[in-house]
Amino acid sequence: MKMEKRRKSLHRFVIFFSILFSGVRGLRNVSIDIPLAVAAGTTVNMSCRYDLESDNLYTVKWYKGPEFFRYIPKEMPPIRVFGELGNKVLQNRSGAHHVVLKNLQPNHTGKYRCEVSGDSPSFNTIMVSAYMYVANLPKSDPQVRVEKIRYAIGDTVRGNCTVPSGNPPANVTWTVNGVPVNSSFMMNVTDKIIDNQQLMTIAGLDFEIIPDSFNNGRLHIICHANVFHLYKKQADVELIEERPRLASVLGTRESSYIGGATKRFDGWYMFNAAAITLLLRNFR
Ligand SMILES: *[C@@H]1O[C@H](CO)[C@@H](O)[C@H](O)[C@H]1NC(C)=O
Ligand SMILES: *[C@@H]1O[C@H](CO)[C@@H](O)[C@H](O)[C@H]1NC(C)=O
Ligand SMILES: *[C@@H]1O[C@H](CO)[C@@H](O)[C@H](O)[C@H]1NC(C)=O
Ligand SMILES: *[C@@H]1O[C@H](CO)[C@@H](O)[C@H](O)[C@H]1NC(C)=O
Ligand SMILES: *[C@@H]1O[C@H](CO)[C@@H](O)[C@H](O)[C@H]1NC(C)=O
Ligand SMILES: *[C@@H]1O[C@H](CO)[C@@H](O)[C@H](O)[C@H]1NC(C)=O
Ligand SMILES: *[C@@H]1O[C@H](CO)[C@@H](O)[C@H](O)[C@H]1NC(C)=O
Ligand SMILES: *[C@@H]1O[C@H](CO)[C@@H](O)[C@H](O)[C@H]1NC(C)=O
């Protein structure tokens, strides 16, 4: 009984203070919600959330460097846009909480800021910001090249993974039989033919075969290429353990395969995912 009473009075106390504070509170909890990364050419819906409490809205302004969008509910028309980015605003889909931008390009990568102001007398102003990448994605899949596909213990595997050019360049990682392995080198190469803002990525792989390297006589190498969550591709190659006893049998099958589906490439064999599938089918 006593506990019940105490709880009730505490409850009343909490309600009393909530009412007291809501009378003096104004604009608060401003947050910006924009994608981390989008592909070039897409339309982006950016949100700016806020809680006005008892305040009225005076303005919402958006900046990327200079201001590009302003919303003032008391004015007619309420929306005004500025500059090159302002011309990309879809005004009929933008307003107090959203600004929709069309056909963004990589040079629109950067920090976006939203500034919200309450009305008089407080004119309370809060600004928040977030960074967005606009990426030119690689136009095709990565490719793995290795010097050869048959190895004995003690041999060194050397290979490269090349990801077609994009902006920003792709992140490349390797796995060998599912285990992550560091690249021996990583290069961003300018692709002058397409556009000098575009960078091709080349990652190298270099490791020595040890007795544990093979799994049932196979070694599966995968190159993973990512550009944020927008481009996630992989290319793989399967290496074969060289064992004298099997050499003649495998040798004949392999040479017939090479005649068909691989291309000689400056003394290296070039593979793509489709060719590897063919290779595997040939061996099963
Ligand atoms: C602030 O806003 C976010 C998202 O709009 C919401 O999840 C969160 O609960 C709010 N926080 C407060 C203290 O109102
Ligand atoms: C919004 O305006 C654009 C032109 O600025 C027009 O193409 C589009 O159809 C309009 N969308 C709506 C939903 O009114
Ligand atoms: C933008 O996204 C919000 C949700 O975050 C949604 O309510 C609104 O309708 C969207 N606006 C447009 C024009 O797509
Ligand atoms: C971005 O690049 C386009 C051409 O792709 C150009 O028209 C525009 O002015 C550039 N904008 C900025 C902010 O640099
Ligand atoms: C791998 O890249 C290195 C460094 O650019 C180069 O020397 C080598 O020829 C490349 N190998 C292949 C197979 O492309
Ligand atoms: C890979 O590189 C990281 C950082 O450079 C290093 O800490 C790690 O030991 C390396 N792993 C291997 C297997 O070499
Ligand atoms: C390649 O470019 C990316 C982004 O510009 C950068 O983060 C990375 O360090 C560069 N890598 C090399 C090896 O230059
Ligand atoms: C590359 O990886 C780093 C570290 O995980 C990440 O911060 C960066 O955003 C990635 N870049 C791209 C283009 O995916």
C-alpha distances (whole Å) from 223 to each of 52, 106, 200, 266, 283 are: 50, 26, 15, 21, 22
* CA distance linking residue 228 with residue 215, whole number of Å: 32
pLDDT given for residue 22 in this prediction: 44
With residues binned 3-state (H G I as helix, E B as strand, rest as coil), the percentages for the chain, rounded to 5, are 20, 45, 30
Out of 27, 31, 48, give the residue to mutate to test ligand 1, the one with the largest number of ligand atoms within 8 Å of its CB: 31
Q: Kindly state if the Cβ of 184 falls inside 6 Å of ligand 8.
A: no
Q: Kindly state if the Cβ of 227 falls inside 6 Å of ligand 8.
A: yes
SS3 246: helix
pLDDT given for residue 17 in this prediction: 42
pLDDT given for residue 243 in this prediction: 78
pTM here is 0.75
pLDDT given for residue 12 in this prediction: 47
Among the bound ligands, the one closest to the CA of 207: 6
C-alpha distances (whole Å) from 93 to each of 88, 152, 198 are: 12, 63, 32
pLDDT given for residue 2 in this prediction: 52
pLDDT given for residue 39 in this prediction: 97
| Low-confidence stretches of the chain (pLDDT beneath 50) | 10-23, 246-247, 249-284
Q: Kindly state if the Cβ of 188 falls inside 6 Å of ligand 7.
A: yes
Residues pairing with 101 in the sheet: 44, 89
Ligand 8 atom closest to 228 (CA)? 14
Q: Which helix (H) or strand (E) holds 3?
A: helix 2-24
pLDDT given for residue 142 in this prediction: 97
- Strand intervals (E) in 102-166: 110-118, 125-135, 143-146, 150-151, 156-166
